[in-house]
Amino acid sequence: MAINWFPGHMVKTKRQIKENLKLVDAVIEIRDARIPYSSANPDVEELCKGKPRLILLNKSDLTDSRVTKDWIRHLSKEDVRAIEVNCLKGEGIKNIKPILMELLKEKHDRLKSKGLVKIITRVMVVGIPNVGKSTFINRMAKNNIAKTGDRPGVTKSKQWIKTSIGIELMDTPGILWPKFEDEEVALSLAFTGAIKDEIMDIEELALKLVDRLQTLHPELLKARYKIEELSEEPLETLNSIARKRGAIVSGGEIDYNRIAVIILDEFRGGKIGKISLEEPKKTSLEESENISLEESENISLEEPK
């Protein structure tokens, strides 16, 4: 399944991140807790080396909590911490400042030893589109300073946002990367809405999602759509779901566009169940960092013509 998307503003954003890192003390990277591996932009991993980093696994209310906790253990190391949050409801947000202070303790101790009393912590917020960056910033600022939307690419330019807890946030637009390591990464991003539906074949995308779900979470799929048995063929399962939901046109034919929209919306809204599409034991962020993006040939993200 070909997925092609690399808007020009994302090239500019990558340059902005590199240029502005010297202005901040730390980086907050927001990922989608359903796909912590696929929603980790390897360009950001490389660009932010040397800066303390806090990874927020957002939308954790939609995930299998056991898997999310495994990811937290997997991602946390000396200069990186990971926590689960729900930016929409504010869950886990109170843990952000203490962890940032822990990561920056050595730097703050040096500043205090030089007589500096009031220390403002400046943090850059990064992440791919549609992971909840604007929702997080609005929660921290307690108002709607950052634009929000249910479509990727809503945030357009850098902003500085002050908060009531002594932290200033630098917002940046969400960026994807020019090439993916493999098709599974691209599909995970498309399933969760990080790639615009407008450029996708959503009927094929929904079929791929059904295939993934009946492999990873067959019981949830059966329970949601009241199907006794799943077919070995994802298309037959999709047809069964369509019939159960009445996605039928005249003559008894399946309305594939309608059922595709239903399945994607219900997955993204958590109605099928608490689903984690990736587990740390099945993927390796460390391995992905060693793969040259130029050598990745499966899927190329380019500006659509």
Q: Binding site for GTP: which residues?
A: 58-61, 130-135, 174
Give burial (CB, 10 Å; 0-12/13-18/19+) of 304: exposed
- Three-state DSSP state, 2: coil
Instruction: Write out the binding residues.
Output: 58-61, 130-135, 174
Which residues lie below 8 Å from residue 244, measured CB to CB, with a gap of 6+? 225, 226, 227
200 near 3, Cβ under 8 Å? yes
Q: At what angle do helices 183-192 and 202-216 cross, to 10 degrees?
A: 100
Give the count of alpha carbons within 13 A of 107, CB side only: 15
185 near 283, Cβ under 8 Å? no
304 near 4, Cβ under 8 Å? yes
End-to-end CA distance of the chain: 18
